[in-house]
Structures are given as C-alpha cells and as structure tokens.
Amino acid sequence: MCGIIGYIGNKPANDVIFDGLTRLEYRGYDSAGIAVIDEGAIHVRKDIGKLRNIRRLLVDDFASSSSIGIGHTRWATHGRPSAFNAHPHGDCISSIMVAHNGIIENFMKLKKRLSDEGHEFKSETDSEVLAHLIESNYRGDFRQAVLDALKHVEGAYAIAVIHQKHPDEIVCIRKESPLIVGLGIEENFVASDVTAILQYTRQVVYLDNFEGAVVRRDGISFFNITGASVEKKAVQVDWNPVAAEKGGFSHFMLKEIFEQPQVIRNTIGGRTSEEEGKIYLEELKLTGPDIYRTQRIVIVACGTAYYAGCVGKYLIEKLVQIPVECDLASEFRYRSPLVDANTLVIAISQSGETADTLAAVKEAKSRKAKVLGIVNAKESSLTREVDGLVYIHAGPEIGVASTKAYIAMLTALTLLALMLGKIRSVLNSEFVKEKIKELKILPQQIERVLEKHDQIRELASIYKHARSFLYLGRGFNYPTALEGALKLKEISYIHAEAYAAGEMKHGPIALIDDQMPVMAIVTQSDVYDKTLSNLKEVQARSGCLIAIVTEGDSEIRHMTDHVIELPAVSDILSPIINVIPLQLFAYFVADLRGLDVDQPRNLAKSVTVE
C-alpha cells in the first residue's frame, strides 16, 4: 500500500527520495509526490501514474539543491487517484508538508471543524487534515505541534512531516502503521519499509506504536506520544540490498520463483538435526506445558498466507493430531471466535503488517489464547504482538503476487508440525529423520521443476486467451489449487476458481465444456485414484485438462491434453513442489498478455487497511 520516505543529508534530496519511492513501488500505488525545502521555501511535485512516467516532473524538471524532503506513493482509499489527492499534503500556506500512511477515522469531523475555522482544503483525502491540524497547533515548536495535532486524531498513522521554518529536521511518528528510521553518516532517513533505504544503510531503528523521532542530518532524538524522550537501539538489517534487485530477471516475481530452492534451504537452515530426528525453532517460545495444554489450533491469515494456513491444517491434523481450524483473519475478528487459554492461535503473514491479521491476533489475545506468528518481515508489527515466532527467512519479497514467501511458510509449517508431533509423541524420531532428509532434497527437486519453464511458457501461450479457468486438487493439494487460481487471477486478470476435486460434481461441473480449461493437481498420493475419477468426469464433458502429475505416471497421459511431470515427493511435502508450475504458469500467462506482472492493477503488497 502507500509508502513513505524522508531524507535529510548531503545528497540531492529529490534523487534519494525518488530512488526510495521506486523501491517502494512493489507495495502498489496510483500516484506519487515529493516535497523538499529549498532556500527557505517548500516545493511540492505530485501526480498520478507510474513513477517512470512522472520522473520528469518529480526529478528532471525539479531542479533543486535541497537535501531535505519527504516522498510518498499513494494507494487510494479516501478520494480517487489524482494529483490533488496525492501526498505530500500541505496546510493553508504550504509551510508544512505531510506524507501519511494509514487512515484517519475521524477525518470528516476534523475537516468540518478546521473548515469552520477557515482552513482551506485542496484534496478529498483524510490525510490532509493532519497538515491543517499541525498548522493550527503550531506555536514555534515543530515537534510539539505534531504531538498536539495527534491528540485530536483517531485511526492509524505513520507520518513524516517537514516545516518550512525548520529546514533541518523531519518529524515522524507512528501508530499502527509501520515506520522506521535509517541511520547513515551525515545523513538519515525515514521510511515505511526497509527496502526503501537498504541501498543507503542497513542500520535501522524500528519505531513502536506511539513513538516518533526528530531526524536531523547529524543525529536523531526519539520520543513518545507524551513528548518524553525514549531510548531506541538500532539493529542491523540482514536483508541484502541485492536481494531487492531484479538480478537479470525480467520481473521480481520470476526472480522470486527461481529463488525458491534457496529460500527452502534458508527456512530449514540450522533448525534440524537429521541424526537425532529433532527440529529446533528457537524463537517459538512455547513451553512443554503450553504444547501439552493445546487442545485446538486456529490459524488466521489472509490471501496467500491463508492458503498456506490451509495446508498447515492438513499438516498439523495429520502430524500432531490436534484439531485445526483455518480462518480468514477478516472473518475471525468479527465473529466472536471460540478461543481460550487452551487454544493456540497461529497468525501467518509475509509482511507482518496486514491490518486484518493484526486485528485477529489482538482478538485472540483478548480471549487469552497463546499466539504464535509465522512471519517474514523482521521487527514488523506482528512480531511485537505475538507470544512466539517462527521466522520464515524468505528475504524481501517485492513482486506483489506472493511466491517465495508462500513456499517458506509451507516449509516453516512443516517444521512446526514435525516438531509438535514429536513433542506430543505422535511421531517417532525415525519418521522425523526421514522427513528432514526429504525436506533437504526438496530444493534440488524444485530446481528440476524450474527447468521446465519453457514447457510451461509454451502451455501459457496456448491458454493465454482463456476467459476462465478451473483449478482442482484434493487433500493436501486442495489449498494448492486455491493458491494456483489466486496467482492466475491476480496477475493475469483471468477469472479462475478452485475447487476440491470431489466437490466438482456438486455444482461446478455445469461449467465444464471445451472452452473451460481445467488445471488439475493429481500427483501420487492417498487421494490419487479419487482425483483421477473426478478428472474422468471432466474428460467425459470435453473439458481441456492440464494435469500436474508425478514423473512416470502413464495412466493419466491418455486422458489429458497436457501433463507437467514433477519429481515424486511424500504427501506432506507435495504442496511445496506442486505449486511451482502453477506460479510459473500464472507468471507466463500474465507476461504473454503484456501485463504489469510485478504490480498488478488494484493490488497492494501489504494491506495495512481493513
């Protein structure tokens, strides 16, 4: 969603800010803007469209020697995408500029009051009220004006503010929306996301809720919402800036698909002992009694992370023998869920900033459940809310459509299920040893699947004009079908629906004809024969069938139009490998249709609003 970057230092501010904004592009946006202080005046440039199209406005024609400024990429919530609604937003006399992420819930009331007092608004946004509120609270002390303004505000915010009369400082503060401060040498940064500043510094301070900073060239002072000073420690971000580059691939999504073997190695790294059949998840912080007391597990997540959770349900029920429910975070939070101190809630999130997932965690905690986070982004908001953690170590995921984080979530869930199953004596050491061994060879097996990219591209060229797709899977691979369909629809804009194969005859079979391609996951498993029977029903109705099968499966060949063969793996690991051809297929279809694969329309990487 929206992105913020602020810079103060010794370089041309609009270059650094524009560069930071391009690194935030992946979050999704429809407009962008930059404001700098130059020779005692504030200059603002903003417009709708992609950064590459408005670069001239923001940088080339914006000759400025300024070395302080803020920038923003906006993903419209209040007010349509337009130059007026783009950030930064100013006060009546453009002496203050604010870049804001989040939502000001009481903005209508505030706007009315400020308008009655004579403030003139230029946009339809909620964010603009912040600039006017700061203006009306300004008595010469910039930081205090921001703090006083926020006393009137309900909602979520991460803001970076500059003031014409204070050309040597950026004031920033957050509540619920993430914000970080980056430490350089004679230069410092503010950003909503580390990827914006990774190329300049890896020394980062993560602000907590209600914390802010006055950021100067030569130092930073941290404070909380009451104005009291707070001590903050910088941490060294271990994400490599190169990981946030395309590295020769045409899109981040393709690069991230190809990174998946290494991601699995990283997720497993140092967490297993093959000799002893043991799994170590250090940040888990669940005690033996916590694990024995657990009578039920509830997984909450959104989107792709939710589908990872659905695989988690199959894994945990099979390996730990505890009932598991997997719920959409947006549903869980509003349905008075039945969780208590004997329920373990697992929240899964790549970004750790998804508003619905965070709210679901708060709901679970208010009901005394223990909450475990399976998270990618270090120090994200979710990591601060949970009792224990399993980091998935996928590295920065830039493509809006999640791929490598999904694979890492599945790997982490497998480790977790094996560990819990062993502790609860459902699994013996031999079984765990065997699965660790299989997990370790999985990356090589996935490399073999990635080598089939030309075959999958060819298939994509045949089906790129399809109007609709049906994805079918059963058991562990029903969620794989759901995830495959999601990938196709979000980046290629082709309607795709997924069904549990056995459910097809209860309705969706009516859709089958020679115009409806069916993507079926039918690798060897306990439900292979059952799935095959379901596919015969498709074949009998002239449906065109693409089947994801296990290498050497000769039975299925004569009944399908196309097969993609995958190396044989055990049932519990099959979702990790089976989704790879589906990711590639979606990627190639979107690319062949000439679409913006990394930033699909209407989508945002990290959904920080409800």
Q: Using CB under 6 A as the criterion, which residues of the chain lie in contact with ligand F6R when the complex forms?
A: 302-305, 349-351, 354, 357, 401-402, 486, 490, 606-607
Question: Quick one: 6 or 178, whose CB is closer to ligand F6R?
Answer: 178
Single-letter code of the amino acid located at 386: V
Helix (H) / strand (E) element for 357: namely: helix 355-366
Question: Quick one: 94 or 349, whose CB is closer to ligand F6R?
Answer: 349
Q: Which of 111, 404, 422, 605 is catalytic?
A: 605
Q: Which of 2, 172, 302, 326 is catalytic?
A: 2
Question: Quick one: 64 or 351, whose CB is closer to ligand F6R?
Answer: 351
CA distance to 2, 51, 297, per residue, from 26 (Å): 10, 12, 33
Least distance from C-beta 357 to ligand F6R, angstroms? 5
**Which tokens sit at 317?**
């029920």
Beta strand 343-349 with 370-375 is parallel
Secondary structure of residue 387 in the 3-state scheme: coil
Contact 323, 296 (CB under 8 A): yes
Least distance from C-beta 579 to ligand F6R, angstroms? 12
Least distance from C-beta 188 to ligand F6R, angstroms? 27
Least distance from C-beta 364 to ligand F6R, angstroms? 15
Secondary structure of residue 235 in the 3-state scheme: strand
Least distance from C-beta 302 to ligand F6R, angstroms? 4
Find tokens 């602020």 and name the residue: 6
Cα(83)–Cα(46) distance, integer angstroms: 6
Long-range contacts of 36-43 (CB under 8 A, 24+ apart): 36/64, 36/66, 36/68, 36/69, 37/66, 37/68, 37/69, 37/162, 37/164, 37/167, 38/64, 38/65, 38/66, 39/65, 40/164, 40/167, 41/164, 42/90, 42/94, 42/95, 42/96, 42/97, 42/162, 42/164
**Which tokens sit at 356?**
């619905």
Closest CA to 4 of 180, 218, 226, 267: 180
Question: Quick one: 195 or 351, whose CB is closer to ligand F6R?
Answer: 351
Least distance from C-beta 309 to ligand F6R, angstroms? 10
Closest CA to 564 of 477, 455, 478: 455
Question: Quick one: 370 or 487, whose CB is closer to ligand F6R?
Answer: 487
605 tagged catalytic: yes
- Please provide the size of the chain in residues: 610
**Based on C-alpha coordinates, what's the Rg of the chain?**
25
Question: Quick one: 90 or 396, whose CB is closer to ligand F6R?
Answer: 396
Least distance from C-beta 1 to ligand F6R, angstroms? 10
50 tagged catalytic: no
Question: Quick one: 486 or 569, whose CB is closer to ligand F6R?
Answer: 486
Cα(231)–Cα(363) distance, integer angstroms: 30
Question: Which residues are catalytically annotated?
Answer: 2, 605
